């Protein structure tokens, strides 16, 4: 039975001590959690994001057969994830990620390789990455499994999700330098989970292609969850040449014109029979048909990356993946982006009673906080909100800015588009100001719109008053 009476101080101390001895989170304290909760809605990033778009009907690349032949048609797939590695030193298979709250302190990272292409902090927030102090000396917080102070070889990716502020932090070659009392990394990138913003052209991230890593990993919770997997997977090939959208950076290892560029996408052929596999493996392979595989880095051919988890059964995964060959795949047209046909003729307008789509003053969520950062677009999925139909083409909205910390403007534009040149509202510091606007929704039909602020820490309220169909 629940007891609403306050606990005496001696009992609280005993509870905390027992939790510490058991290795459990202390009640009421913010905890960094390995492979912990991710912020909804899932999959990570907006529906229009390249990780999440359906490529089952995307056009075939004219050079598809030659690309596959260059990899080697008989090359089998390999699940580059699993549980513990009992080698010497012991390690792990796959990449762990870390889930933290907004109270996790930010610590600076010194860049040792690609400092001019790395993010020191998220726009509008103090510099630093929310790295838990346990990672300095404890294992399994970093790819490879060794502690931060162990300078073993490998990519040593560290992936951190601020689940409250909806921010993804990723570091390459992560290392704790005890002698200099600082975290070091080869490169680092920070992504808003509510944005489709790419890295600047020619920039890397924590990955060679300039992409985020976590959204492309095979995760145990989604494989064994009730819903289909709704995103592409990250994979590697031995030789690459150049890059294409959505990648922003190349790490060319071959001059052969048939070497895949970073950012290229493979798709498991629709006619490949996957019915004989275990149901959870069918689920993974179906995602390869619907969303595909994106070339993210140089590495072993046809290695598919996933999250470290001791529950994976590699005695089932390894032979199943190996039975799929490169020849079972085809290459989607390089640089492909989804498009939708323009609406024919004038649109009809339908009124709605005023209904709130977004209020950043509310708690952290996909339709609430945090406040808008500077320059980084926030993409809002309107589908299912306020009774809006799936086929809506544009919205009539009222945009309100509440007490901004400085002067600036906010732009509204389609969720799969680029920011407009015209501001939807301009404001001075401390104002409460509203303006009506009509904003087209994403041309892909996903029902998303985007907001971009010139000023960090701006709270906005967005109400819909009608839609065009």
Asked if residue 38 belongs to a domain, the reply is no
Asked if residue 339 belongs to a domain, the reply is no
- Rounded (10°) CA dihedral 294, 197, 417, 265: -10
Over residues 327-352, mean pLDDT = 86
Mean pLDDT of the chain: 92
Distance CA 380, CA 372 (A): 12
Asked if residue 217 belongs to a domain, the reply is yes
At 136, give phi and psi (nearest 5°): -65, -45
Instruction: Note whether 13 and 89 are same-domain residues.
Output: no
Answer yes or no: is pLDDT of 4 > 60.
no
Instruction: Note whether 181 and 309 are same-domain residues.
Output: yes
Asked if residue 41 belongs to a domain, the reply is no
pLDDT digits (tens, 9 = 90+) for 151-172: 778 999 999 999 999 999 999 9
Query: What interhelical angle do 314-323 and 279-290 show, nearest 10?
Result: 40
Answer yes or no: is pLDDT of 344 > 60.
no
Instruction: Note whether 362 and 275 are same-domain residues.
Output: no
Answer yes or no: is pLDDT of 70 > 50.
yes
Instruction: Note whether 383 and 324 are same-domain residues.
Output: no
Its pTM stands at 0.89
Domain that includes residue 380, residue range: 349-468
Apex 192 CA angle, 159 and 205, nearest 5: 50
Asked if residue 336 belongs to a domain, the reply is no
Here the tokens at position 167 are 């921010």
Number of C-alpha atoms within 13 angstroms, CB side, residue 443?
A: 10
Instruction: Note whether 400 and 277 are same-domain residues.
Output: no
Answer yes or no: is pLDDT of 254 > 60.
yes
Answer yes or no: is pLDDT of 237 > 70.
yes
**Which band of pLDDT confidence, cut at 50, 70 and 90, is reported for residue 11?**
very low
Q: 30-44, 49-63, 314-328, 334-348: which range is least confident on average?
A: 334-348
pLDDT of residue 3: 35
Specify the CATH number for the domain of residue 449. Answer: 2.60.120
Here the tokens at position 61 are 């690349």
Asked if residue 55 belongs to a domain, the reply is no
Instruction: Quote the number of domains for the chain.
Output: 3
Instruction: Note whether 286 and 360 are same-domain residues.
Output: no
pLDDT of residue 341: 54
432-440 and 394-402 as β-strands: parallel, antiparallel, unpaired? antiparallel
**Which band of pLDDT confidence, cut at 50, 70 and 90, is reported for residue 340?**
low
Give residue for tokens 């199943």: 320
Here the tokens at position 338 are 């989804």
The dihedral built from the CA positions of residue 66, 70, 71 and 75, taken in this order, carries a sign that is positive
Asked if residue 94 belongs to a domain, the reply is yes
Instruction: Note whether 98 and 233 are same-domain residues.
Output: yes
Answer yes or no: is pLDDT of 414 > 70.
yes
pLDDT of residue 291: 98
Instruction: Note whether 134 and 254 are same-domain residues.
Output: yes
Instruction: Note whether 353 and 434 are same-domain residues.
Output: yes
pLDDT digits (tens, 9 = 90+) for 422-460: 999 999 999 999 999 999 999 888 899 999 999 999 999
């Amino acid at each position: 039975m629940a007891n609403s009476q306050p606990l005496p101080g001696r009992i609280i101390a005993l509870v905390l001590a027992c939790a510490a001895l058991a290795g459990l989170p202390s009640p009421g304290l913010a905890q960094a959690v390995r492979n912990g909760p991710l912020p909804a809605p899932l999959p990570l990033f907006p529906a229009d994001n390249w990780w999440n778009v359906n490529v089952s009907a995307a056009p075939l690349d004219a050079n598809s057969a030659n690309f596959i032949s260059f990899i080697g048609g008989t090359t089998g797939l390999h699940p580059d994830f699993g549980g513990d590695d009992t080698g010497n030193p012991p390690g792990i298979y796959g990449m762990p990620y870390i889930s933290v709250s907004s109270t996790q302190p930010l610590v600076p990272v010194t860049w040792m390789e690609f400092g001019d292409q790395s993010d020191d902090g998220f726009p509008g927030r103090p510099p630093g990455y929310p790295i838990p102090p346990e990672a300095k000396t404890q294992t399994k917080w970093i790819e490879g499994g060794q502690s931060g102070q162990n300078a073993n070889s490998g990519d040593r990716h560290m992936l951190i999700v601020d689940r409250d502020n909806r921010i993804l932090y990723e570091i390459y070659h992560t290392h704790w330098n005890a002698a200099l009392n600082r975290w070091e990394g080869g490169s680092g990138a920070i992504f808003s989970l509510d944005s489709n913003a790419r890295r600047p052209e020619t920039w890397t991230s924590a990955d060679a292609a300039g992409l985020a890593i976590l959204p492309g990993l095979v995760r145990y919770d989604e494989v064994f969850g009730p819903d289909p997997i709704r995103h592409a997977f990250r994979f590697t090939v031995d030789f690459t040449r150049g890059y294409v959208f959505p990648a922003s950076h190349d790490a060319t290892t071959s001059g052969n014109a048939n070497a895949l560029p970073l950012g290229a996408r493979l798709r498991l052929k629709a006619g490949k029979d996957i019915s004989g596999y275990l149901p959870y493996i069918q689920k993974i392979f179906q995602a390869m048909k619907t969303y595909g595989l994106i070339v993210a880095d140089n590495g072993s051919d046809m290695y598919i990356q996933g999250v470290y988890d001791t529950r994976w059964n590699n005695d089932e995964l390894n032979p199943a993946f190996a039975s799929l060959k490169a020849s079972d795949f085809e290459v989607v047209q390089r640089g492909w982006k989804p498009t939708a046909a323009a609406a024919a003729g004038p649109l009809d307008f339908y009124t709605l009673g005023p209904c709130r789509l977004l209020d950043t003053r509310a708690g952290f969520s996909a339709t609430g906080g945090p406040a808008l950062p500077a320059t980084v677009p926030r993409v809002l999925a309107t589908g299912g909100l306020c009774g809006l139909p799936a086929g809506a083409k544009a919205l009539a909205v009222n945009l309100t800015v509440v007490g901004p910390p400085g002067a600036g403007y906010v732009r509204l534009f389609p969720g799969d588009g680029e920011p407009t040149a015209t501001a939807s509202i301009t404001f001075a510091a401390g104002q409460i100001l509203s303006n009506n606007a009509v904003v087209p929704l994403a041309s892909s039909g996903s029902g998303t719109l985007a907001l971009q602020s010139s000023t960090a820490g701006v709270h906005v309220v967005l109400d819909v008053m009608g839609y065009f169909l």
